[in-house]
Amino acid sequence: MKIKVFSLILLSLCITFFSSSKDKIAYDCSSISSSLTKATSNVSISKLVRFQIRKTTSSDRLNIDDIDFHEYLNFSTRDDNMAMGNPSNATTTASNINNYLMAKPQFSLSYNNSKGIPNWVSWHLSSAWKGSALRSNCFAVDKSLPSSFYQAVTTSYSHSGFDRGHMCPSEDRDFSIADNTATFLMTNMIPQSPKLNRVTWVALEKYCRTLISAGDELYIISGGNGSGGSGSNGGTTTTMASGKISVPATCWKIIVVLPNGINDVSRVSTTTRIIAVNMPNTQTVNTLPWYNYRVSVDHLEALLGYDFLSNVPLNIQAAIESTVDIGPTN
């Protein structure tokens, strides 16, 4: 829903929306102005609400001439990064050292302390996450890990022959500097061969962004599997950083494609497009385009022991997880 406030002498205005249970569900604060102007607030609401318009300064006058409400059914929103499920039943219990759940505003992940990398990273992608923030390139230790856990630093990948491969990509989170900076936390990284990270993997990332530009929203989850990759140093490498970081043999990804809307899980059907890939973590992976590595979700579940899309009804899971995508690729 788009709310437009017309002919407004805007000094410092806050529009706040509350659910029927009086929980705050959205708000938009404007900039300060002393002339007539128009303020617009975009919010995603699927239930009855009440809203409040108020000044945030005590002395100035607030003059409102008109308010309009417009409904847009295909409006993009930011949604729960784990809406489709928790495939490994990760928990926030620190003793669960190899399946430790970390839920950040930008993405969620299951961290494996024994491997020094995430088991998986899950995120939602729509045009609501996109903006013009520059790539921060500020790789950093994730200090939100329990102090007893191994915490990779920016130099942990130095001279290894492998890139610090983003799971949730930087370009999927460029709405703000804060969003982009979060993607450079080392808990979002997996060792990837340069040819995988910079050629084949990034080609699929770019394709995902063409889908959201066309009016879709995506739920994406990715990670690594197996042991031993081949980077720019040649040979097969199983661990880095004195054995603290494991190098996977392949990198996988699952993408759920939906048209923009609300109540996303309930809109997944037997015809929903699911793209799943499993790519070798080698310097020859780029000899084939990304779409040659498509597999079924069932195939990945058998490899990994995870239950993907667990929030989707079982009969729908059975239909969409057994097929290999043959949809468009550009």
Q: What CA–CA distance (Å, rounded) separates 299 from 282?
A: 20
Q: In whole angstroms, give the CA distance from residue 200 to residue 285.
A: 7
Q: What is the Cα 149 distance to its own chain's centre?
A: 24
Q: State the burial class of residue 149 (Cβ atoms within 10 Å of its Cβ: 0-12, 13-18, 19+).
A: middle
Backbone angles phi, psi at 103, to 5 degrees: -110, 110
- List phi, psi (to 5°) of 264: -60, -45
Please choose, from the candidates 137, 165, 144, 139, the residue with its C-alpha nearest in 3D space to the C-alpha of residue 245: 165
CA distances to 59, 286, 290, 320 from 330, in Å: 56, 17, 11, 21
**Which strands make up the sheet holding 250-259, listed edge to edge?**
100-103, 108-112, 117-125, 216-225, 250-259, 273-280, 294-295
| Active-site residue set | 166
- Print burial letters for 24-38: b (CB count within 10 Å at least 16), e (below 16): ebbeeebeeeeeeee
Cα–Cα distance, 93 to 68 (Å, whole number)? 47
SS3 content of the chain, % helix, strand, coil (to 5): 20, 35, 50
Query: Using an 8 Å Cβ cutoff, are 133 and 177 in contact?
Result: yes
SS3 call for 132: coil
